[in-house]
Structure 1
Amino acid sequence: MMKLMLMLLMYPPLLLVPTNWFFFCLLLMLLFFIYFNSFWFFDYYSSVSYSFGGDILSMCMLFLSIWIVFLMLISSYNIYISSNNNLEFLLINLTLLVSLILSFCTMNLFMFYLFFESSLIPTLFLIFGWGYQPERLSAGFYLLFYTLFASLPLLLGIFYLDNISLTLFYFLISFNCNIYLYFMMILAFLVKMPMIFIHFWLPSAHVEAPVSGSMILAGVLLKLGGYGLMRVFSFMYEYSLKINYLFICMSLYGSILVGLLCLYQVDIKLMIAYSSVAHMGLVLCGIFSLNYWGLCGALILMIGHGLCSSGLFCLANLIYERSHSRSFMINKGLINLMPSLSFFWFVLSANNMSSPPSLNLLGEVMLINSILSWNFLSMGFLGVSAFLSCCYSIYLYSYTQHGYLFGGNNLFKINSVREYILILLHVLPLNIVIMKSDTLILWL
């Protein structure tokens, strides 16, 4: 952990190096492998200092954060080529990475809240500074006010906990929970996930964000909500068992509703964003079921979905850079123009509907078992949700790759090696990490 912090402190001066983009990518990769090599704690919580440390849940989220930020830089190479404030872009990415690392590695609830909120600022700068359209301002304000209004009750709840429990460490908090405190503690995380009916900030934020903003939103920031819920439920376990059925029912209903919404989208990014809401609904069901398989399945699906949806946003951006449109009506028949990239579209679309051997499959199998053990009557909802997931994934692939070629798309530039490597670095971990899934299952 200390090695990680020392390496991060060395990064800001490197922004002044002329070829800073390549240095930054290389050092992020180096950071990932050095930290992965020192991943020494498998069955206990390792403390680095009084407030910082990590268990497998923290470390999985941490690895995902470093990996996604590294891929963000590769995908945003056009910012470097066009000199579109590339130093500021690197600095914002570094700030975002630091806030994510600190939020995942703290053991103190208030510190987690502080870094949880601080990750919002670089995300807003990404949307405001490098977004595509003037509507990015309203999308950014949506994100800001949804998060802030939901986070204020959490802050008050944390102060109240500190007053009655005299500690804010996850594993030492003890108090008698009530309905008001329960909602205060979970509302911010439900908005961040997001849960159905409070998800309206997400599609607009995804559509207006640059590709890097969409990647970090789908890849890591949504998972902050799931991580926070897991930490909060560790000390609200008994009370949660009485009331969690409300949220499970709502999420099951919401995943069907959002699945239907996906089927009549005409915007590629909007459809991928809505599919994220559907998958996060399943993750929420697993977390709220509060059983072993549910929590492990939620962690696995969060990692799998982070890689899969980030890869889909990259593919959507590759099309957008060429056709300057995200519409299904214009981006048709792309298998004729980019046949080699069509394979990656197929793999990621299949992974999005939880095909083997992806992490999504393992996560969904565990979550379905978990929800069925909670109540067998939920089988109908889960079946329809899984069917709709297949429908919109097939729709996404078939509509973009097949059909008549739009006449204006004859000026496509050829794909670069960078783009193939970028997609490959999403696909490989997504389909290979399942071979080492015992680490993800044995963390509780």
Structure 2
Amino acid sequence: MIMLKFSDYCSPKTNEIFERYKFNSIYQKEGQAFDSFLTDLRKAVKTTGYKEQNEMIRDRIVMGIHDKTTQERLLRESKLTLTKAIEFCRTVEVSKQQSKTLQEGGADVHLDAVKHKKPNMCKYCGYKHDFKKKCPAFGKTCASCQGRNHFASVCKSRTKNHNNKGDEGSSRKKKVDELQKQNDEPDKDGTDADSSEFYVDSVKSIGAVGANVREQTVWKKKLIVEDKEIEFKLDTGAEVSILPAYAVKSCNLSRIKPTDVTLVAYGSEKFKIKPVGEISLTCRCNGRNAIINFIVVDCKNQVPLLGLTGCIALKLIKRIDNLVKNIVHGSKTIFRSLEDIKLMYPQVFEGLGRFPNEYHISLKEDAVPHISAIRRVPQTLREKLKTKLDQMCELGVIRKVDKPTAFLHPLVIVEKPNGDLRLCLDPKSLNESIKREHFLIPSLEEIT
């Protein structure tokens, strides 16, 4: 009874007219499972105030089902109940899935047959729907190429990559973004494979699709390479720097040397890129010069990649192991480490925090005292527990009680990694009997 009144008090007031409008506006979406549609109806009907909720759900299923054939079959039933409607809709859904699986399995037998495009099949979503209505793929992002307004199942770039799989010539034209060195066993001839193979951490295309998103997440820097300005992507996760062949040709450079380096795709050793060669070029940025070794690859529209060694050589990044002390600017103090804060405010990190006044906990009128069973302490922790209790008594955190009490809570002992003990109580029964106080927590603006 108390919980019901508490829920009525805290729950916002509902408008039954509006809730019924929302319930009657629920329709099964294209591709939505029937159980998901049924769950939406059962959630929405709870706030409508209808007395016969099962009948309303039944009617909503008949009127909102997406499959018109199923709707006609439901309307033929003279004494249709909610249970019958649910069982029939689930049976139809399972039958369609099984039939689709059988048809797809049978299609594999006729591999030599000419494949025709399914009639009325949308090329953006892969489903059959009325083309006068809005396509479900409109506004969605493809999981394969990150493009817009189509699904990955009908993505053209995915089909193209699948057809070119295993082609060595096409594998050289993959887009290389990030590199990671591979740790392999020495080759049979005694040479170390680490010097000749690198992992490609990701393969991504820099094009019109998703260009705005990538510009916000990619660090780029313009370098002067042999008196020619080239924009590089900064990648500290790559152990080598990559330069496309078209960038080398634009600089009129012909000093490319053969290399035994092989770029291996991250997560798939089957995908390997054999570079054209390697070249050492003089790069300049922010008044600093450095000679950087580049791996030349034959990739079109590939953004040049500056690896970790190149970024360090041009001092574009810096590794910081230690923090400097706090610096005072006028009336503001900038703390660079935790020790600076401890030195400035030592009183905050000493002793125990206490409230200035005593606080009285009010219990409910029908509260029933509860005595919990005392838990036994392991023999190995008894001496540590006694020492910890004595310390807490000396600090005034707890005090010894020698009289009967209405509530008794079990002790929970947690052993810290440093060997110290953390003592806790499990006041579950007391928490259920406490009167809760309701107040508004002040915001940061009000406190400041």
Q: Same fold (TM over 0.5)?
A: no
More helix by share: 1
Whose RCO is larger (CA < 8 A, sep 6+)? 1
TM-score range, shorter chain: under 0.3
More strand by share: 2
| TM-score (ref. length: structure 1) | 0.20
